[in-house]
């Protein structure tokens, strides 16, 4: 029973990834910036709302280049109940900005650039992310589930967990 549940869950992830890829392929993502690409994908509604609440839309529509580790709506939904709602409150904007900018590297890094390597990379937030691309790609505790979604101002790598900077 556990094996069937696991297989069903993996199948669901694969279908979600296929849907994101199909949506982005049809939208000519490389001609759109990071924000427009995330909106077009349809699976980053929470991330887009958070970017808007944090006042980061213009930044992520800027020249870049940026690498964004983009948590899906499911990744945000996995946070403890009330976390997202609390972060979206105006009085918590600084914390929201810190979390979101922890997902951004101020350069374009494709999966081929890091394949077979580990690294500590500086984020826009100021801390460093631990990247392990020795067997798949892990970024801190998150797994990259879809890599190399090219945009006009960088690249998006889809992750399955919201990253939280260490204080």
pLDDT of residue 146: 96
Look at residue 40 and tell me if it is in a domain. yes
Look at residue 110 and tell me if it is in a domain. yes
Residues 139-155, mean pLDDT to the nearest whole number: 96
Look at residue 165 and tell me if it is in a domain. no
Span 42-100, pLDDT tens digits = 999 999 999 999 999 999 999 999 999 999 999 999 999 999 999 999 999 999 999 99
What is the share, in percent, of the chain residues with pLDDT greater than 90? 79
Instruction: Return d(Cα 123, Cα 41) in angstroms, integer.
Output: 24
Residues 121-128, mean pLDDT to the nearest whole number: 96
CATH of the domain at 119: 2.30.180.10
Beta-bridge mates of residue 158: 70, 146
The sheet carrying 142-151 orders its strands as: 104-105, 66-71, 154-159, 142-151, 138-139, 128-132, 118-122
**Domain span at residue 8?**
2-159
Helix H or strand E segment including 70:
strand 66-71
Residue 22's pLDDT band, with cuts at 50, 70 and 90, is very low
Look at residue 96 and tell me if it is in a domain. yes
pLDDT of residue 166: 84
Look at residue 164 and tell me if it is in a domain. no
Across all residues in the chain, what is the average pLDDT? Answer: 85
Look at residue 150 and tell me if it is in a domain. yes
The count of structural domains within the chain is 1
Look at residue 95 and tell me if it is in a domain. yes
Look at residue 87 and tell me if it is in a domain. yes
pLDDT of residue 143: 97
Residues 133-162, mean pLDDT to the nearest whole number: 96
Q: pTM (2 decimals)?
A: 0.82
Question: Measuring CA to CA, which residue among 98, 9, 26 is closest to residue 55?
Answer: 98
Q: Which residue has the tokens 């009330």?
A: 82
Question: Measuring CA to CA, which residue among 55, 52, 54, 27 is closest to residue 42?
Answer: 27
């Amino acid at each position: 029973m556990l094996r069937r549940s696991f297989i069903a869950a993996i199948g669901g992830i694969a279908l979600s990834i296929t849907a994101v890829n199909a949506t982005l392929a049809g939208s000519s993502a490389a001609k759109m910036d990071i924000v427009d690409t995330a909106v077009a994908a349809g699976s980053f509604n929470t991330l887009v709302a958070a970017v808007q609440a944090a006042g980061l839309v213009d930044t992520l529509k800027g020249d870049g280049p940026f690498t964004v580790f983009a948590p899906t709506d499911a990744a945000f939904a996995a946070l403890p109940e009330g976390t997202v709602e609390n972060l979206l409150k105006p009085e918590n904007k600084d914390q929201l900005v810190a979390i979101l900018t922890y997902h951004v590297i101020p350069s374009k890094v494709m999966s081929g650039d890091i394949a077979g390597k580990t690294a500590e990379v500086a984020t826009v937030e100021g801390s460093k992310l631990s990247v392990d691309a020795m067997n798949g790609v892990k970024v801190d505790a998150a797994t990259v589930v879809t890599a190399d979604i090219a945009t006009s101002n960088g690249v998006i790598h889809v992750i399955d967990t919201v990253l939280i900077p260490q204080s």
